[in-house]
Amino acid sequence: MHENDFASKIIGAALEVHKQLGPGLLESTYETCLAYELRQAGLSVQHQLALPVIYKEVKLNAGYRIDLLVENKVIIEIKSVDALADIHTAQLLTYLKLKDLRLGLFINFNQVLLKNGLKRIVNKL
């Protein structure tokens, strides 16, 4: 499957989580529930995956963590905020570059309509 196919499944699962829980909960709650939904859909999901930084050809654990990595193809960053900031976009783009991946999704569950909390980020590689 292509990362766009996975993105469609991810968005469907996120819609189900949002439908069940609504806005206003902690990011960790949405993250756990979305990971559950994705696994129920038969997808491979890594949760809170450590992301080292390569600095001068040395791999350093700098404390970065990917919320969810689906099928080793799509990074999902979960938010529960009033609005996404430019720094959030920069963060996800950096994660994509460090992991050498093309597609990332922000899912901000703190929205009345989840479609207003979805943002797709593409690393041009």
Dihedral sign computed on CA atoms, order 44, 48, 51, 52: negative
CA geometry: angle 2, 70, 7, nearest 5 deg: 50
* Count of structural domains, the chain: 1
Domain that includes residue 20, residue range:
3-122
Q: Model confidence over 45-83: pLDDT tens digits? A: 999 999 888 889 888 888 889 999 999 999 999 999 998
**pLDDT of 84 over the 80 cut:** yes
**pLDDT of 10 over the 80 cut:** yes
**Which CATH number do you get for residue 11?**
3.40.1350
**pLDDT of 125 over the 80 cut:** no
pLDDT > 90 in the chain, percent = 78
CA–CA distance, 44 with 57 (Å, rounded to integer): 30
Write the single-letter amino acid at 116: N
**pLDDT of 1 over the 90 cut:** no
